[in-house]
Amino acid sequence: MLFPITAYDREEYESIKELLPPKMIDIHCHVWRNSDIDKSGDENKGPRRTVTWPDLVAAENPIEDLFETYRLMFPGIEVTPLIFGTTGGSSSAPESMKPQNRYIAKVSKEHGIPALYYSHPRQSAEELEVAIKIGNFRGIKSYLDLSPAYLPEKEIRIYDFFPPEQLEVIDRMGGIVMLHIPRPCRLRDPVNIAQIIEIKQRWKKLRLIIAHIGRAYCVSDVGDALERLCACPDCDDLLFDFCANTNAEVMRQLLDAVGPKRVLWGTDLPITRMRMRRIEENGTYINLVPPGMYPSEVPDPHLREVCEEEAEKITFFMYEEIKAMKQALENSKNASPEDACDIFYGNAARLLEIE
Ligand SMILES: [Zn+2]
């Protein structure tokens, strides 16, 4: 078995099962083979500009592991994923993403599942367009650490990893842009908000998904972002996924602001295989984890081990995410648990044109 399922996990699954429709679409998951990641010249790459704890959960996530994860975590439910690769590491060269994209195109075709191309900001618009057509991709995903190495992490803007000429290509095809926003202030960051609005004003046909609710893992990360985005008429088809987010209050605020038709379920697998419960402390998140399960050489401020006894009541990050959405649907004035059909399936099915 890829990972064990405990009696406590089953109990937790029982508590969310009735919410979930028989078919679901996972709008956000990473699929890659370790052998396709370019590890050469790591020392020449810029400083690491991502959090370290996700590496401790899985070294790779080949397509077989993804399907096995769904089988173990959602018995009896048919899950269709929208797949894409993972970051090749800080400031990797454009060529280094090719093996991953080839693998994604191959398994997408073999399994008849939709996929996004993992783009690199130094690729020309022409090259991007050709690659997307050949691989039959639905759009692009990229990541802030592919921005130029000289940029300090806190200064990275959306256009540093999704340059305008690439967004132009996606707009022409009416494709998807899966956006993990940069910057330490996350969703409430005024530069992020201004660029999200600008993207929607300039490129009206592209479908922009703000991943992880704009990394608003704490209520204090939301600020006035939802009001400002809702006040912009060009943003009325802006989409949000809530993967790897476990904050029920942030989800409630999102549902109240945009309603249930623009919210999409994603898993961010393999990371949500992690066993953890997330708490908020001084405006940041801490993942409480079982002792010894995720040994880290460098201390990570986002990880904290609990005692053995407390660890027995820790289940998957994935279930915590869904439990939070369940609570948000119960508390929202603009959505109800019946909307789970749209959030876990219908909205993504319409976006991806899946029956
Ligand atoms: Zn992700």
Percent of the chain residues past pLDDT 90, beyond the cut: 84
Ligand 1 mean position to 243 CA, how many Å?
8
Ligand 1 mean position to 319 CA, how many Å?
17
Residue 134, φ and ψ in degrees, nearest 5: -60, -45
Ligand 1 mean position to 165 CA, how many Å?
23
Ligand 1 mean position to 147 CA, how many Å?
17
What would the pLDDT profile of 168-196 be if each residue is shown by its tens digit?
999 999 999 999 999 999 999 999 999 99
Q: Quick one: pLDDT at residue 56?
A: 78
Q: Quick one: pLDDT at residue 91?
A: 62
DSSP state letters, 136-186: T--EEE--GGGS-TTS-GGG--HHHHS-HHHHHHHHHHT-EEEE---STTG
pLDDT averaged over every residue in the chain: 93
Ligand 1 mean position to 84 CA, how many Å?
9
Residues 6+ apart with CB under 8 A from 182: 144, 147, 153, 156, 157, 158, 160, 161, 192
Q: Quick one: pLDDT at residue 295?
A: 83
What would the pLDDT profile of 5-22 be if each residue is shown by its tens digit?
999 999 999 999 999 999
Percent of the chain residues past pLDDT 70, beyond the cut: 95
The two structure tokens encoding residue 65: 């592991």
Q: Quick one: pLDDT at residue 69?
A: 98
The two structure tokens encoding residue 8: 């406590």
> Is the pLDDT confidence value at 44 over 60?
no
The two structure tokens encoding residue 336: 């109800």
Ligand 1 mean position to 29 CA, how many Å?
6
Q: Quick one: pLDDT at residue 32?
A: 95
Ligand 1 mean position to 82 CA, how many Å?
11
What would the pLDDT profile of 68-118 be if each residue is shown by its tens digit?
999 999 999 999 999 999 987 766 788 889 999 999 999 999 999 999 999
Cβ atoms of 158 and 181 closer than 8 Å? yes
Ligand 1 mean position to 309 CA, how many Å?
31
Q: What is the arithmetic mean of pLDDT over 132-157?
A: 95
Ligand 1 mean position to 76 CA, how many Å?
25
Ligand 1 mean position to 28 CA, how many Å?
6
Ligand 1 mean position to 9 CA, how many Å?
23
Confidence of residue 45 (pLDDT cuts 50, 70, 90): low
Confidence of residue 279 (pLDDT cuts 50, 70, 90): very high
SS3 label, residue 27: strand
| For ion ligand 1, residues whose CB falls within 5 Å | 268
Residues 6+ apart with CB under 8 A from 250: 213, 216, 217, 218, 219, 221, 222
Confidence of residue 239 (pLDDT cuts 50, 70, 90): very high
Ligand 1 mean position to 234 CA, how many Å?
25
Q: What is the arithmetic mean of pLDDT over 285-313?
A: 89
Ligand 1 mean position to 152 CA, how many Å?
21
> Is the pLDDT confidence value at 46 over 70?
no
Round to the nearest angstrom and report the end-to-end CA distance of the chain.
32
Ligand 1 mean position to 227 CA, how many Å?
25
Select the more confidently predicted residue: 314 or 87: 314
| Domains of the chain (ranges, CATH numbers) | 7-350 (3.20.20.140)
Q: Quick one: pLDDT at residue 327?
A: 98
Q: Quick one: pLDDT at residue 40?
A: 60
The two structure tokens encoding residue 107: 């398994």
Ligand 1 mean position to 241 CA, how many Å?
10
DSSP state letters, 258-309: H-GGGEE----BTGGGSB-EEEEETTEEEEEE-TTSS--SS--TTEEE--HH
Ligand 1 mean position to 212 CA, how many Å?
8
